[in-house]
Amino acid sequence: MQRRDEERLILVTNDDGYGAKGLRAAIEVARRFGRVVAVAPAEMQSGMSQAITMFNPLYLKRVSEEEWGELYAFTGTPVDCVKMAFDYLLRDRRVDLVISGVNHGSNSAVNVLYSGTMGAAIEGSFYGCPAVGLSLADHRPDADFAAAVHYGEQIVRAVLDGQIERPLCLNVNVPQGEPREIRGIRVCRQNRGFWREEFFRHEDPHGRTYFWLSGSFVNHEPEATDTDEWALAHGYVSVVPVQVDLTDYARMTALRRALSTE
């Protein structure tokens, strides 16, 4: 069923916080399709994954009312923001779409697991509407989001056209560069590979040793051409459809043999 743009309600969130340039880019995409309610973290929440705040009170602040809709800052995680929107702020309204991002930095491969942007997108899809996580392969606070807006709009339009079965959650990554430099959209699978970390070890001004996490991604299949890493590295926008059943079905028979005691 198609709805007229002015009737649609679109939730926007992110993990970089309500003041991030990328949030404005996501709102820029969203407002082309309907009214926008943006509920974003009050502080930077990068790397927060699907985390929820169970043991702290959370504060909500309406930051502004603008021509496209409303912006709220919430003191929780990205997932908390989505829950706040669906289970409180917009409880009696139908939400047509969730856009999470645009993240400053890519969320391809296993980063889908660590990313607060994708945590929020996945959470959004739990509420029965399609959810699109948008990330740009540029960490800079002043990154140019023109290509993310261009391709974000194209992808959201296809999603809202209703040609694709629900539930639907997409992990979209946009390479650096102007829209005309990008080679198109590739539907991919999640690349295999993990992070190997390095802990920077220093002393704080009080003489206490501290550690600071850093690291680099190890691509376990650099030759594979059907992955999101490959697409991004070769100038394509990558789109990975995401589902949340982590069951390793291929293992069940062997495990039953080794473990079951029924």
| Residues of this chain, 90-129, that bind its own copies according to CB under 8 A | 110, 112-114, 116, 119, 122, 126-127
Span of 16-24, 92-100, 173-181, 239-247 interacting with its own copies by CB under 8 A:
239-247
Annotate 78-103 with b (16+ C-beta within 10 A) or e (fewer).
Answer: bbbbbbbbbeebbeeeebbbbbbbbb
What is the per-residue binding string for its own copies in 193-232, x denoting contact by CB under 8 A? Answer: -xxxxxx-xx-x---xxxxxx-x-----------------
Which residue stretches of 127-206 are H helix? 146-160
Binding to its own copies (CB under 8 A) within 31-50 occurs at: 44, 46-50
Taking the complex as a whole, the smallest distance from the CB of residue 9 to its own copies amounts, in Å, to 19
Q: What angle do CA 140, 141, 145 make, to 5 degrees?
A: 80
Taking the complex as a whole, the smallest distance from the CB of residue 237 to its own copies amounts, in Å, to 8
Annotate 120-134 with b (16+ C-beta within 10 A) or e (fewer).
Answer: bbbbbbbbebbbbbb
Taking the complex as a whole, the smallest distance from the CB of residue 219 to its own copies amounts, in Å, to 14
First to last CA, the chain: 47
Applying CB under 8 A, does 146 fall inside the site for its own copies? no
Q: Which of 35, 60, 150, 219 binds its own copies (CB under 8 A)?
A: 60
Applying CB under 8 A, does 174 fall inside the site for its own copies? no
Applying CB under 8 A, does 140 fall inside the site for its own copies? no
Taking the complex as a whole, the smallest distance from the CB of residue 20 to its own copies amounts, in Å, to 14
Number of residues that bind its own copies (CB under 8 A): 90
Burial grade of 73 (CB within 10 A; 0-12, 13-18, 19 or more): buried
Q: Which of 2, 6, 142, 163 binds its own copies (CB under 8 A)?
A: 163
**Which amino acid is residue 236, in one-letter code?**
Y
For β-strands 169-174 and 35-41, DSSP reports them as unpaired
Taking the complex as a whole, the smallest distance from the CB of residue 153 to its own copies amounts, in Å, to 13
d(CA 143, CA 118): 19
